[in-house]
Amino acid sequence: MKWDPKLISKYNINGPRYTSYPTALALDSQFDQRNIARAIKPAATELSLYIHIPFCHKLCFYCGCNKVITRHQHKAEIYLDALAQEMRLYSELLIHKRINQLHLGGGTPTFLTEAQLTRLMAMIKQHFGLNSDAEISIEIDPRSCSDQKLTHLRKLGFNRVSYGVQDLDEKVQIAINRVQETDLIRHQVSLSRELGFDSINLDLIYGLPFQHPDSFSQTLEQIVALQPDRVSLFSYAHLPQRFAAQRKLDNANLPSASLKLQLQQLGIKAFVNAGYQFIGMDHFAKPNDKLAIVQRQGKLQRNFQGYTTSGQDALIGLGVSSISQVNGVLWQNSKELPSYYQHINSGCLPVERGFTLNDDDKKRAALISQLICHFELDIDSYCQQWEIDRFDSYFEMELQRLQPFIEDNMVEMTSDKIVVTPIGRLWVRSICACFDAYLQHNQQRYSKVV
């Protein structure tokens, strides 16, 4: 990675993270749900499964996730009842499929009690074929996961854990309403390792209130000392017009754009110098971690969960607001619990909107995925795969938009390759945006790329 401050103002546009193409903003309420069955039937034998658990005990002010703040544990029982019905509706469509990846996200999945987690896993095994060697992961709020619960998760078959850390500085934690002791995180990482979890991920966020280089450097030093297998270093997207919780943050306490970039640089340097492989944008992994291995093999993928080893076009999402992507079809569940429950009680899938990719969409999706995962596109192979006679003719307008990146040494292009340079890797979202046919209509609805 290399930085050039002169490029910040020029290329720090609003743009998608490209966890899909087109992005979720393209989903339409006029979506024909019959396309779901049509997509699943010829899809790959193995699929990934994502389940959204929306409940949290306490509100984190930075959060832009779909969540429900509550102390009433019985609400999770009602939700599990609905999930069981949704699983039943999907089980007929997935009868000949296998689940090779399972991820619980949220919200706070560890809001669930041990009994509720046991019930959820039993439901999954009842309705779906879960591979014996499946990757089973869960997002954890350290404050809601006791030693007993963590041990229970391991016994249930979970083999990967991801802890929400964000920042270890107490002043930052108070500002975002997420106070958690460093000793607690250190203890849970250590216990996870003792229990034999295959991979431990820690989430950090830069751009939060009161963050500055000195304190953030201390956080980074302590995180490196914990030796997680993976690290996610996310840019805080301040969108108070969309997320009410963020209105509780004082804009005056947020770091400036240049300071935020400095925080990102500190993070990237800290993890690369510690021996982590830079996966892309916001992910780092130890060289022996599966995520790093598949990237070196040229098999890294990206879906609504971020960088992944599989499931790019074979992901089923269950629960409120979840998004699925299978065989060129995207669909999303109702974002609000009342609507989600209403659909389930009516005996139908709780799908609110969707989108079916056309041939051009699929070509662009493949190109963007290749650049964002591997920073390189073999033009001849790509054209052969997608039956494009002339790359420069098909993407004539897009290559014009790419030209400034080439002139600024962020992209190198020859007759047979497009390569994102070390300078350009920081701006890969902006580079991919050159090939986005939908961006001009929705650009202001996205956050800054850095």
CATH of the domain at 203: 3.80.30.20
pLDDT per position as a tens digit, 15-63? 788 989 999 889 999 999 999 999 999 998 999 999 999 999 999 999 9
Q: Are 329 and 345 in contact (CB under 8 A)?
A: no
Is 325 a member of any domain? Answer: no
Q: Which pLDDT belongs to residue 426?
A: 83
Residue 237 CB contacts under 8 Å (≥ 6 apart), including other chains: 64, 447, 448
Compute the distance between CA of residue 246 and CA of residue 236 in angstroms, rounded to an integer.
Answer: 11
Q: Which residues contact 381 (CB under 8 A, 6 or more apart)?
A: none
Residue 362 is inside which H or E element, if any?
helix 359-374
Residues 380 and 370 in one domain: yes
Cα–Cα dist 298/164, whole Å: 29
Whose tokens are 């779909």? That residue is 66
Question: Do 209 and 254 fall into the same domain?
Answer: yes
Same-domain status, 314 and 382: no
Confidence at residue 445, expressed as pLDDT on a 0 to 100 scale? 56
* C-alpha distances in Å from residue 271, one per residue of 70, 229, 275, 282, 394: 36, 11, 7, 11, 39
Q: What is the pLDDT of residue 258?
A: 82
User: Do 205 and 230 meet the contact criterion of CB atoms below 8 Å apart?
Assistant: no
Q: Is the pLDDT of residue 157 over 80?
A: yes
Structural domain includes residue 338: no
Single-letter code of the amino acid located at 356: T
Q: What is the DSSP letter of 245?
A: G
Query: Can you give the pLDDT at residue 11?
Result: 75
What's the pLDDT at 6?
73
Mean pLDDT, residues 435-440 taken together: 88
Can you give the pLDDT at residue 380?
A: 97
pLDDT at 154: 98
Q: What mean pLDDT is predicted for residues 405-415?
A: 94
Which residues pair with residue 230 across a beta bridge? 201, 285
- The total of structural domains in the chain comes to 2
* Whether residue 397 sits in one domain with residue 250: no
Q: What is the mean pLDDT of residues 418-424?
A: 92
Return d(Cα 179, Cα 173) in angstroms, integer: 5
Strand ranges for 281-350 from DSSP E = 283-285, 301-303, 306-308, 314-318, 323-326, 329-333
Count Cβ atoms below 10 Å from residue 194 Cβ, excluding itself.
11
Q: Do 7 and 106 belong together in one domain?
A: no
**Residue 219 maps to a domain:** yes
Query: Which residue segment(s) compose the domain that 237 sits in?
Result: 24-318
pLDDT digits (tens, 9 = 90+) for 219-243: 999 999 999 999 999 999 898 998 9
Banded pLDDT at 3 (limits 50, 70, 90): low
pLDDT at residue 425, as a whole number: 87
Is there a single domain that holds both residue 38 and residue 68? yes
Q: Please tell me the distance from the alpha carbon of residue 174 to that of residue 106, in angstroms, as a whole number.
A: 22
Give the model's confidence band at 439: pLDDT under 50 very low, under 70 low, under 90 confident, else very high: confident
Model pLDDT for residues 366-402, shown as the tens digit of each residue: 999 999 999 999 999 999 999 999 999 999 999 999 9
Beta bridge partners of residue 119, listed in sequence order: none
| Whether pLDDT at 443 is above 70 | no
**Percentage of residues of the chain with pLDDT beyond 70:** 95
CATH of the domain at 8: 1.10.10.920
Q: Enumerate the β-bridge partners of residue 315.
A: 48, 325
pLDDT for 74: 96
Residues 94-130 have pLDDT tens digits of 999 999 999 999 999 999 999 999 999 999 999 999 9
With respect to residue 415, please indicate whether it lies within any of the assigned structural domains. Answer: yes
Q: Is residue 339 part of a domain?
A: no
Residue 329 lies in a domain: no
Tokens of 448: 């800054």
Count of beta carbons in the 10 Å neighbourhood of residue 401: 15
Q: Are 55 and 77 in contact (CB under 8 A)?
A: no
Model confidence at 287, pLDDT cuts 50, 70, 90, reads very high
Asked if 108 and 220 sit in the same domain, the reply is yes
Average pLDDT taken over every residue of the chain:
93
